[in-house]
Amino acid sequence: MTDSSGCTEPLKPYREIPGRTPGEKCETIGIVPGTLIPLSELRQIQEQCKITVFLFFDERIARHSTMQSDIENYSLLPPKARPYLELLQFYRVIEEEGLELLDGESVSAEILTVGELECPSCGGIRFDPYIRALLLSDE
């Protein structure tokens, strides 16, 4: 199967990051739970390393649930009604709504967890990497 970039294995960039586990791979690229990362940097990581970033807006949900349960619990809601968005969806919503988001250091996210989720269409054959982050802003 080929993705839009022409790559025959969509997760090849992720697999090439040194490390055996998602935690080790993410640590190699500077993603460690508890750190603050500018959204622009997370976007670059998602695009280059093919690690899906889930950006949460609700701190209670972000800190006290799992990614698998969140996907199951909120899958029937439209994306804009969920307590999280995949990062590239977040940027699309900002653009569609005509909102301005300052890139750079002013909008950051706290890294909460990293892991892998079973690919829903692969039946356990493939697991996709993810980063779970909580949206923060300098106030």
Cβ proximity of 39 and 109 under 8 Å: yes
Residue 125: which pLDDT band, with cuts at 50, 70 and 90?
low
Q: Specify the pLDDT at position 70.
A: 95
- Phi, psi of 60, rounded to the nearest 5 degrees: -60, -50
Q: Specify the pLDDT at position 7.
A: 44
Helix (H, G, I), strand (E, B) or coil at 92: helix
Of 34, 136, 118, 106, nearest to 68 (Cα)? 118
Average pLDDT over residues 36-52: 94
d(CA 60, CA 64): 6
Q: Which amino acid is at 93?
A: V
Percent above pLDDT 70 for the chain: 83
Q: What mean pLDDT, rounded, does the chain reach?
A: 86
State how beta strands 84-86 and 36-38 pair: unpaired
Q: Specify the pLDDT at position 103.
A: 57
Residue 139 has pLDDT above 80, yes or no: no
Q: Specify the pLDDT at position 5.
A: 42
Cβ proximity of 26 and 106 under 8 Å: no
Cβ proximity of 69 and 79 under 8 Å: no
